[in-house]
Chains A and B, each alone.
Chain A
């Protein structure tokens, strides 16, 4: 078994799924010859050829719209949008068509589409290369939204996404693309969409997070020395409320951590559900450590924006003392 980075795990998932299922094809800007600007699709063009790994024109709506057509015809396209900041032009195709086609046609046409998108800040990138729009797409009925935080989960979730008969947005936290390695089985396995993972167990407090923030949460937990249970959601929609409920009923205290802006971030949904499902078990109000309700700043101020281990630790202390 090899120790792989997130990038390598995703690459492996793509290779294996493309070998297994010739309906799978990759398309996007720079994904072919260049292997992707993050090299996630490195080697695939050589291995599978220009008909299956396609360099498209520079047009996000075009990439997603044609992918919808490919999927309606029964293929399994895996388009890449180069950065989450460029999902904007594709928003209409995603929300007006991909999300609706099955219910619009009562199942006559479906869209088994997986959109891969690097997400999140912390890599000193230019504008619109560091955002976190997962809540926007979680709010659109008809879409599944996933965001793995580890190489093992990335491979398993991507394969689940590609095999899913419905549209999935697969967010890849770019800050941890190469930050660490872990054991990723060569053998075929899947991670189910809609199931969270308990990163570490604890009794006094539940932290709920996803994406690269999971790393900052682990750092904060270590520094605090407290008994804290960390849940990595892995799937934003449909999300694993059962795992959150079980944990919060045990600990009575919850901190939700996400990079995306606080207001209407997905933490708001989880907090509302905790209130509904765990009301009598709560010892303190649910806290959210999130991005500020501002535009993501240019990178000089990036680290002041992103929820870091300090801010998370403060929230742990405050809720612990409540």
Chain B
């Protein structure tokens, strides 16, 4: 036969709890126990409040540029919930909800955006890497971390998060290629929030799905409604099993939406339709869970009132802790450059000077005394 079909592809889109409250029993039953669902919902409420407060902190000059996570709580939270504490989470900067779930103190994130490196001093037992600013570069680190786990024969996966914009960067493709060809258990979790600052998704990826990126590398491609916590957990479970059992990477596209601006330095009204934003507000992951829980009679207004109080306290104390940290010392500019500071650098630190006479004023006396001699 001169022409034979060598590949046929299919990608499924998973939706379990949709924006209208329809719940697929066959997929959703027993996926998230009720007591967990209540905790997850409460957690999203706190995270949303923190996000709103963070915005205000920036506007009032108490924090620098901040990327709002609003609307994207479910993807990283569902992932974090499905992962073990010992699995790596390698994030960019819109995964606060998932990071807080696994124990990252909220003030760490605030401190990062308040211009303090101590926000990145993350306890190793959290297995979370710091916020990654250069787009699309952290997936390679996730691949290395998962590779190290495999090297040590640990059953640990790395889940790395990025947006649709990052799938244009070369390093993203290199990471996918490495993981697929060398059998490294990485979950490539794309939060397709459809905007990279002002550039719409079709400029990053004009293919029908972002998920099919994974096909080029021969890995499983899953796609889901990212605002559906159940669908995210469903896909994650599959990906985690693939990683742990077979060292295979998986690509997950979670379709979501960036309800806020790219950061507090951006104004999305310049390039987005208000209609589009309204459409996605109706798909909010938090109200979706609330309505579902209410319909199942496991949540009521009394509980909500109590939660709102707790959220207020949790967020206020996080802000207090973030702002209450003592000022960094200028020596900190130097003290973490190397395990052991080279002499020339120690001299710069001790004198806060770079000019040679500034570093060693005795040189002037030496000149004067030799002139007198």
By a beta-carbon cutoff of 8 Å, the part of chain A in contact with chain B is: 25, 51, 54, 56-57, 59, 61-62, 64-75, 77, 89, 92-93, 96-97, 102-110, 141-142, 144, 164-166, 194, 237-238, 241, 276-277, 280
Which of B5-13, B74-82, B308-316, B337-345 contacts its partner? B337-345
Could you say which of A92, A103, A142, A166 contacts B137, with CB atoms under 8 Å apart? Answer: A92
Contact call A62/B174, Cβ cutoff below 8 A:
yes
Give CA–CA (A107, B339) in the complex, Å: 8
Give CA–CA (A54, B337) in the complex, Å: 30
Nearest 3 pairs between A and B by C-beta? Answer: A69-B144, A65-B140, A73-B148
Which of B63-71, B115-123, B190-198 contacts its partner? B115-123
Task: Tell me whether B170 is interfacial, beta carbon within 8 Å.
Answer: yes
- Knowing A62-B174, A65-B175, the reply to whether A106 touches B140 (Cβ < 8 A) is no
Give CA–CA (A145, B253) in the complex, Å: 41
Could you say which of A54, A62, A73, A237 contacts B171, with CB atoms under 8 Å apart? Answer: A62
**What is the number of residues of chain B that contact chain A, defined by CB distance less than 8 Å?**
44
Contact call A66/B143, Cβ cutoff below 8 A:
yes
Could you say which of B122, B182, B338 contacts A105, with CB atoms under 8 Å apart? Answer: B122
Contact call B337/A61, Cβ cutoff below 8 A:
no
CB-defined contacts of B139 to chain A, threshold 8 Å: 65
CB-defined contacts of B336 to chain A, threshold 8 Å: 102-103, 106-107
Give CA–CA (A173, B144) in the complex, Å: 29
Contact call A61/B171, Cβ cutoff below 8 A:
yes
- One digit per residue, 1 when the CB lies within 8 angstroms of any chain A CB and 0 when it does not, for chain B 115-157 equals 0011011111000011000100101111111111101000000
Contact call B171/A93, Cβ cutoff below 8 A:
yes
Give CA–CA (A105, B188) in the complex, Å: 23
Which of B140, B182, B370 is the most central at the interface, judged by chain A CB atoms within 10 Å of its CB?
Answer: B140
Give CA–CA (A74, B170) in the complex, Å: 26
Contact call B356/A104, Cβ cutoff below 8 A:
no
Task: Tell me whether B204 is interfacial, beta carbon within 8 Å.
Answer: no
Contact call B130/A104, Cβ cutoff below 8 A:
yes
Contact call B151/A68, Cβ cutoff below 8 A:
no
- Knowing A69-B141, A106-B118, the reply to whether A62 touches B175 (Cβ < 8 A) is yes
How far apart are B147's CB and chain A's nearest CB, in angstroms? 6
Task: Tell me whether B181 is interfacial, beta carbon within 8 Å.
Answer: yes
Give CA–CA (A293, B344) in the complex, Å: 29
How far apart are A230's CB and chain B's nearest CB, in angstroms? 23
- Knowing A104-B117, A106-B121, the reply to whether A62 touches B140 (Cβ < 8 A) is yes
Could you say which of A56, A57, A73, A105 contacts B130, with CB atoms under 8 Å apart? Answer: A105
Give CA–CA (A70, B143) in the complex, Å: 8
